[in-house]
Structure 1
């Protein structure tokens, strides 16, 4: 700040405070140092931006902060540019919308704000209740079952939030998020577990699965659609990175899981009499499971082997 003041980029008011005038840039005047020499938020962000560049030599510096701070980061980027830092264009504010909760669905001690830890525990408990109702993990070791339940609860929460464009406000509905049908994390997890079950049965039956898809054995349009969908994964990941938008990966994972389930419903796999077609369907299944796992990993979500 003192360097900018000496170079005439900033100015000092009669009370000793230091300001920058951004009115010619369509903004306003911004306080940088109070009259007593103490800093404000923008001062600290200027300092840490320089510190981070010196330490990491970053290609891009992403500030993940709510959309109510958009103006703040506009000002920061402009100040860094005026100070002559060539990397100022690499500063990016990933502005995200607020997550609301349905009225009366969840309570918090404060009455207005829900603590993330409380929400996570609530989702894990909801997953446990659903698991008990469905009875799918009754014959599984208690420790393994608890881990699966935790995975499902966290997937419900993370996926429901990440499937929405970051910039949009959204309402998180706990009950809807853990539904095993529809665009949810547990639905995608269940699809992965279903495929793993099919592959385990194939191994038990002595079928060799090599993951290689032989085009000569493609027998229907659904298989072709799945192959085309699998081939789009690298483009989706690249687009998500370039646009700072993980919802592209989330919704791709859902589309892949949905298409596979339709394929699974319409065609036999293990009971297919033609060996070549059976191998193709098993290899296709294996690749779908792999891409689902990788896509969900990018979202910070684990997929269990069985559910």
Structure 2
């Protein structure tokens, strides 16, 4: 039985015994920092069944618990809040029962599976800062769900067809002179992205030329010859033109290689890939089924719609009058196909920016109306944009912050700061470079993931690599500090050894606070999974590190009075390090042994 369950049962028993009344539920909360106590019972809700002064009721329950629950050593009542102080034995018992802190907080994987979609880029440009938030969020949520006991499949759909890729293809054909990633030394995605920018430049020139001939802005935009040629290329692709398809395959191949290198540098992976070129025709059969079931209706022009006005939305087009699909058609078909491909999956999470909130409301509603039970378990992991101090990014104009450049810049910044601190002079050049990458990437990931997904972020690279405050490097530095303590202790692996402190020895207040913080980790993992929020893990880890640093400054670890105390404090530090490592692994962040 969990301690809170035991406490609930005993509080109900106390109310029954003392006041001859029955409680349905008991409300707990964390004790406020300015009061003594480890857990607080909220008395006010009890007044519905127990009449009287809340302070007197709290005192009566507190007296009962001190005499009937060995873990409760004393109590105090502040207004309608009963603050319980738990015994040192309770905390030591918790610590000794965790066989291995390196797996603490992780629940064994069950049969409940979920698909997590993230990244899903277009193949006309490299990944940029906006993609990074998407990728880091999706990957971390998948890792957290797995730690909470679910089976996860990491997936993405690559938008590898459409006018955007034809624009890059046409610009390369016209101006590329046979350039390849090998001949230029550029990553394939960067090379293709350069031609997307070149297309836009030429397109704007043609617009200005047409306007000078008397065309309106709108006329010039639609009549520009380069755009018409790109549209013709898209038609040729759809008709299976051999030369266009061959060029498409070649340039997309360059992009996939480039993406793979970026994913590798970011330390993320995928279990399956879907390609829009394979899925864009999916969904039409499902629309036919929906027509038969009365989920959809046809208008006079032959277009097919779904009426969502009863749900507070509007009518949604699902098939054009000429029988061609819209994005919604594809998304319906792709969702159904994915569940067919993963029959053990009971739901799916889509990591997509908040500009698509409405689209996903509609998609989920339509799938429910079509009768798919798993549609109840679909979730849009909606997130805000990432801005830079320099302003908004635009792919067409080539003003995006390239993901690879940002990763390299973060490592460079981490290196500069580390050199200034001067604590790594004895590392080799390779060891230093690896350390800079670990710190730089950790700074980037933590800065992005510590913020609630729904909030917009202003990303400041310099601020993120600060070794003080709520940053990745600050937490990594604490982990490295603990490793240094463990090396000095020069002990065999400590996990699994139990420590029984003499009954006369009391826990230091700072030891107790640290144990309390460690105790919260499994609950935090479950909460982060329920809320699809890596920010809960990030900020828990920061709180744990702050608590450890307070412990470190107030209690001598290696200079403890007795060998028994020293052994315990080293084990406690080791447990903190293991939880930091586990928590950071859920965020996709590595921790260095030295800094």
Deviations 1:170-224 (A, max 9, x none): 2111111111110000000000000000000101xx6884554545455311000
1:48 to 320, 334, 351: 334
1:19 to 287, 305, 316: 305
User: Contact 2:501–2:564 at 8 Å: present in 1 too?
Assistant: no
2:441 to 148, 151, 154: 154
CA–CA distance in structure 2, aligned partners of residues 199 and 120 of structure 1: 31
Aligned-partner SS, 2:589: coil
User: Contact 2:464–2:471 at 8 Å: present in 1 too?
Assistant: yes
Q: Which moved more, 1:35-44 or 1:237-246?
A: 35-44
Specify whether residues 90 and 208 from structure 1 end up closer, same or farther in structure 2 by C-alpha distance, changes over 3 A only.
Answer: closer
Question: Is 1:143 the counterpart of 2:401 in the alignment?
Answer: no
Question: Is 1:87 the counterpart of 2:374 in the alignment?
Answer: yes
For residues 98-177 of structure 1, the aligned pairs below 5 Å read: 98-103=385-390, 110=397, 112-177=399-464
Deviations 1:224-257 (A, max 9, x none): 0101111111000000001101100000111111
Deviations 1:272-302 (A, max 9, x none): 2311111111010000000000000000000
Q: Which moved more, 1:109-118 or 1:157-166?
A: 109-118
User: Contact 2:449–2:535 at 8 Å: present in 1 too?
Assistant: yes
Specify whether residues 209 and 5 from structure 1 end up closer, same or farther in structure 2 by C-alpha distance, changes over 3 A only.
Answer: closer
CA–CA distance in structure 2, aligned partners of residues 220 and 236 of structure 1: 25
Deviations 1:26-71 (A, max 9, x none): 1011111112222111111101111111121312200011111111
CA–CA distance in structure 2, aligned partners of residues 78 and 107 of structure 1: 32
Q: Which moved more, 1:17-26 or 1:225-234?
A: 17-26
Q: How many residues align?
A: 305
Specify whether residues 195 and 109 from structure 1 end up closer, same or farther in structure 2 by C-alpha distance, changes over 3 A only.
Answer: farther
CA–CA distance in structure 1, aligned partners of residues 446 and 304 of structure 2: 45
CA–CA distance in structure 2, aligned partners of residues 106 and 2 of structure 1: 41
Aligned-partner SS, 2:346: coil
Report the counterpart of residue 185 of structure 1 in structure 2: 472
CA–CA distance in structure 2, aligned partners of residues 197 and 189 of structure 1: 13
CA–CA distance in structure 2, aligned partners of residues 224 and 21 of structure 1: 59
Aligned-partner SS, 2:569: helix
1:161, CA displacement in angstroms? 0.7
Question: Is 1:263 the counterpart of 2:551 in the alignment?
Answer: yes
TM-score, scaled relative to structure 1: 0.94
User: Contact 2:393–2:400 at 8 Å: present in 1 too?
Assistant: no
User: Contact 1:32–1:42 at 8 Å: present in 2 too?
Assistant: yes
Structure 2 runs not aligned, ≥5 long: 1-286
RMSD: 2.1
Question: Is 1:3 the counterpart of 2:289 in the alignment?
Answer: yes
Question: Is 1:291 the counterpart of 2:291 in the alignment?
Answer: no
Structure 1 runs not aligned, ≥5 long: none
Aligned-partner SS, 1:60: strand
1:109, CA displacement in angstroms? 9.5
Aligned-partner SS, 1:175: helix
Question: Is 1:239 the counterpart of 2:527 in the alignment?
Answer: yes
Higher-Rg member (1/2): 2
TM-score, scaled relative to structure 2: 0.49
